[in-house]
Amino acid sequence: MLNTEAPSISHTELDLYPTTQLVDVLIDDQLNAIRAVSLAAAQIAAAVDAATPRILAGGRLVYVGAGTSGRLGVLDGVELLPTFSWPNERALSLLAGGKQAMFVAVEGAEDDAAQGAKEIMQLALTANDVVILIAASGATPYVLGALQAARATEALTIGFANNPGAPVTLQAEIGITLDTGSEVISGSTRLKAGTSQKVALNSFSSALMVRLHKVYGNLMVDVKPTNVKLLRRTVSLTMHATGRDEAYCRRILEECDFHVKIAILAIVNNISTSSASEKLQACGGDLRLALHKTST
C-alpha cells in the first residue's frame, strides 16, 4: 500500500475528538508537509537550475496533473501573470478532465493515459519547454501518459510525487519526492500531501522567476497591475526602491504604464522612461545589471 493511502496509526478515534482538539490535530499534521518539502530542497533547486536556461531560451512551463494535484498546478501557473508579468501563453496547464475538472470531479479522467499523451502532443513541445508533472500517488495514468509523450520531445520533465520510488519521479528527468506519509484522515491527499505540493510548486516557480530577473533584491518589480490593489503596490515598491515620494513615483510610473523596473531605473539614474526601457531591454530585463551599467 502507498504511504499516502495507508491508514494512519495516530488519532484512530479522530471522530470522537472535541472540535478544538480535532482542529489542532489537523493543523499540527500540516507541519509535516513543510518538513517533507524541506527535505526535497536540493532536488527543487536542481529543477530550477535545469529549467532556467530553457525558459530563458523561450520555453514554456506546462503543468500536468489530476484532481487536487492538477488544480494546484493550475493555481501555480495562473498566479505567475499578476505576480511576475509572466505571459499566460507561457504557463500552460493540463488537467485531467479539462477545465470543468477545476470545479467538478470528472469520473475516470485520471485513469486515461492515452488522453494525457494526446494533450501533451497537441502542445507541440520543444526541447526548451519545461513540463511539471504532479501526482500524490506518483502513478496517475493520465500524468504518466503525458510524461512519456513529453520525454519523447526532449522537453525537460520534472516529476512531483508524495511516495518514494514513484513512477513519475523515477521516469522524469528530475524527480522530487515529498514524502508526507499517511494522512490524519486516511487517504485524503488533499490534506498534507496537497499542502506539500503547493509549497513545493510555489518555491520552484518563485525561485525560477527570481533567476529570470523578475525580482530586484526581494522586491516584486515585475508585478502586473491588474487591479487597484496592485496599482498601489507598484507605487509602494517604487517608493521603497528609490526613496522618492508617492506623487513623484506615481508620475514616473504613469509615463511607463506602471512598469516598476523601468520607473526605478529612470528615477535612480535620472533618465527618461524611454531611455530606461531601452537600457533594461538591452540588459535582458535584469534591473540590477541595468542600474550598474548606467551608473558606471
Please name the residue ranges forming H helices in the chain: 19-39, 41-56, 67-78, 80-84, 113-121, 141-151, 167-171, 192-211, 228-242, 246-255, 260-268, 273-282, 287-295
Three-state secondary-structure class, residue 204: helix
Let me know whether 204 and 156 are in one domain: yes
**Grouped pLDDT means (10 residues each) for the chain, 296 residues:** 88 96 96 97 98 98 97 98 96 96 91 97 98 97 98 97 97 98 93 97 98 97 94 97 97 97 97 97 96 72
Phi (first) and psi of residue 64, to 5 degrees: -135, 130
- Please report whether residue 265 resides in a domain: yes
- Please report whether residue 220 resides in a domain: no
- Please report whether residue 276 resides in a domain: yes
Task: Kindly report the CATH number assigned to the domain that includes residue 154.
Answer: 3.40.50.10490
Last residue of a domain, one of 153, 180, 211: 211
Let me know whether 282 and 197 are in one domain: no
- Please report whether residue 3 resides in a domain: no
The reported pTM is: 0.94
Is 169:134 a contact under the CB 8 Å cutoff? no
Whether residue 110 lies in the annotated active site: yes
Minimal CA–CA distance to 105: which of 68, 140, 132, 153? 68
The active-site residue, picked from 110, 119, 173, 183, is 110
The sign one gets for the Cα dihedral 58, 154, 93, 37 is negative
CA distances to 82, 93, 104, 147, 286 from 76, in Å? 11, 9, 19, 19, 23
Is 283:289 a contact under the CB 8 Å cutoff? yes
- Please report whether residue 127 resides in a domain: yes
| Domain total in the chain | 2
> Any idea what DSSP says for residue 216?
B
Q: Which domain holds residue 174?
A: 14-211
116: Cα within 13 Å, side-chain hemisphere: 32
The sign one gets for the Cα dihedral 255, 256, 260, 262 is negative
Cα separation, 79 vs 28, whole angstroms: 27
Please tell me the predicted confidence (pLDDT) of residue 294. 61
Please tell me the predicted confidence (pLDDT) of residue 79. 96
Let me know whether 49 and 189 are in one domain: yes
Cα separation, 176 vs 79, whole angstroms: 22
Let me know whether 206 and 241 are in one domain: no
Please tell me the predicted confidence (pLDDT) of residue 293. 81
Whether residue 107 lies in the annotated active site: no
> Any idea what DSSP says for residue 97?
T
Let me know whether 181 and 273 are in one domain: no
Let me know whether 207 and 250 are in one domain: no
Cα separation, 172 vs 72, whole angstroms: 19
Let me know whether 100 and 206 are in one domain: yes
Let me know whether 282 and 200 are in one domain: no
Let me know whether 52 and 84 are in one domain: yes
Q: Which amino acid appears at position 234 of this protein?
A: T
Task: Kindly report the CATH number assigned to the domain that includes residue 263.
Answer: 1.10.8.1080
What nine digits make up the cell of 65? 496533473
Let me know whether 125 and 250 are in one domain: no
Let me know whether 158 and 204 are in one domain: yes
Let me know whether 254 and 134 are in one domain: no
Please tell me the predicted confidence (pLDDT) of residue 295. 58
The active-site residue, picked from 5, 13, 79, 89, is 79
- Please report whether residue 201 resides in a domain: yes
Cα separation, 50 vs 46, whole angstroms: 6
- Please report whether residue 1 resides in a domain: no
- Give me the torsion for CA of 227, 230, 236, 237, rounded to 10°: -140
Cα separation, 236 vs 245, whole angstroms: 9
Last residue of a domain, one of 161, 179, 211: 211
